[in-house]
Amino acid sequence: MGSEMHYQEKFVELLKKTLPSNINPAEELADILSVSTDSIYRRLRCQSSFTFDEAVRISKAFGISLDSMIHDQNQKVTFSYTPMYEDSLNFKSYFEGFQDFLKKASLSERSRIVYAAEDIPVFRHFNHPFLSSFKSFYWKKSVLNSPDIQGAKYDPNIVSEELRILNQNTFKIYEQLNRVEIWTNETIDSTLNQVDFFWESGFFEKKDDALQVMDEIQDLINLLSAECESTGEAVLGKPHESLLYFCEVVIGNNSVLIESGKDDDSGTVYLGYNTFNSIATDNPAFIKETRSWIENLIKKSILLTNSGEKQRLKFFRKMAAKIDALKAKIREN
């Protein structure tokens, strides 16, 4: 019984960390399990146990990993992911997933998103419709090998108006979050290389289409530069933090840490893989490890937000030079 109650206590603790503060746990769980609130209170006080069936139903409802309670001590971590090579893949559902996890991150005023960016953070594409369309086309054609567009050239209308609105709303949520981004001199290179590859391969129908994408990359960088000079302003009446760091250390892959704002290791880590997909875990030990890695990166980085003006200007000049060079190449050919 002692071991059983030990896991019961861990499960209740994990459950309380996961549930948003505006939700009454007893009422929510009573509804899910179709039992009385009194029965739920006894379980939450560890006076009785959740059955295995109940624990599974709760974990599915709130995205809780039961595995994390067992494997914290033996270096095993469970990740979730979205299958990309299935016939049923729907870009609308895929993009809705981005919005859902940002909404979850925004539930607490103290929550924060920390993005170690090997590539331009995906949420920033969503504020620029032609860049977003290009990235979607690139992913489908060059990564997923979608048969319906293998013989096609880039079409700015590949993303429907419905998806454009969805993506722009996702970016608005991202703007309102407390966030830290860590960029390197190479963060912009992947996107520029994709445009260059498509141009060289003749995948742009018109030169103007390629230049339009390039203009929006420049707009994205201009917006980022402006944010560096205007952080700390209130967003929707709440204090808001947006920080950009420049790091000379190679990051290696896109890593995103969603901090819950609680004084513990609760939250979620997303790691990039397969070009534009990600795997996710809420394992506390892995979150702690990721936080330590990010803190070490920040120690080796230069804060560009409201400080380091000389370094900031140098950083953005380098990106502008890369953009201008590719624009010139496209115009000349």
| 195 domain-assigned | yes
Q: Pick the residue with more confidence: 226 or 63?
A: 226
- Assigned domain for 327 exists: yes
pLDDT band at 90 (very low <50, low <70, confident <90, very high): low
pLDDT in tens, 235-265: 444 456 889 999 998 888 899 999 877 766 7
Q: Are residues 153 and 233 in the same domain?
A: yes
Q: List Cβ neighbours of 186 (8 Å cut-off, separation of 6 or more).
A: 118, 250
Report the alpha-carbon distance of residue 125 to residue 167 in Å, rounded: 9
Does residue 71 belong to any structural domain of this protein?
A: no
Roughly what angle, to the nearest 10 degrees, separates helices 37-44 and 25-33? 120
Domain check: are 176 and 131 in the same one? yes
Whether 74 maps to a domain, the answer reads: no
28 vs 67, residue with greater confidence: 28
Shared domain check, 264 and 235: yes
pLDDT band at 1 (very low <50, low <70, confident <90, very high): very low
pLDDT at 304 over 60: yes
Domain ends where: 64, 98, 117? 64
pLDDT of 117 > 80? The answer is: yes
Q: Are residues 121 and 208 in the same domain?
A: yes
Which residue has 């609105």 as its token pair? 165
In the structure, what pLDDT confidence band is assigned to residue 74 with cuts at 50, 70 and 90? low
- Are 117 and 50 found together in one domain? no
Instruction: Please give the Cα distance from 277 to 256 (Å, whole number).
Output: 12
What 3-state DSSP class applies to 330? helix
How many domains does the chain contain in total?
2
Distance CA 84, CA 90 (A): 9
Answer with the one of 18, 37, 64 that is the final residue of a domain. Answer: 64
Domain co-membership, 42 together with 129: no
Report yes or no on 155 lying in a domain. Answer: yes
Q: Does the pLDDT of residue 37 top 60, yes or no?
A: yes
CB 78 within 8 A of CB 67: yes
What's residue 68's pLDDT? Answer: 61
Give residue 240's pLDDT. Answer: 61
* Mean confidence (pLDDT) of the chain: 85
Is the domain of 124 the same as that of 175?
A: yes
Quick check: is 72 in a domain? no
Q: Which domain holds residue 147?
A: 80-332
pLDDT of residue 47: 86
In-domain check, residue 75? no
Query: Do 13 and 116 fall within a single domain?
Result: no
pLDDT at 67: 66
| pTM passes above 0.85 | no
Q: Are residues 103 and 6 in the same domain?
A: no
**Of the given ranges (101-105, 158-162, 188-192, 228-232), which has the lowest mean pLDDT?**
228-232
Task: Looking at the structure, tell me whether residues 238 and 159 fall in a common domain.
Answer: yes
| Claim to verify: residue 264 and residue 311 sit in the same structural domain | yes
Mark whether 15 and 138 lie in a shared domain.
no
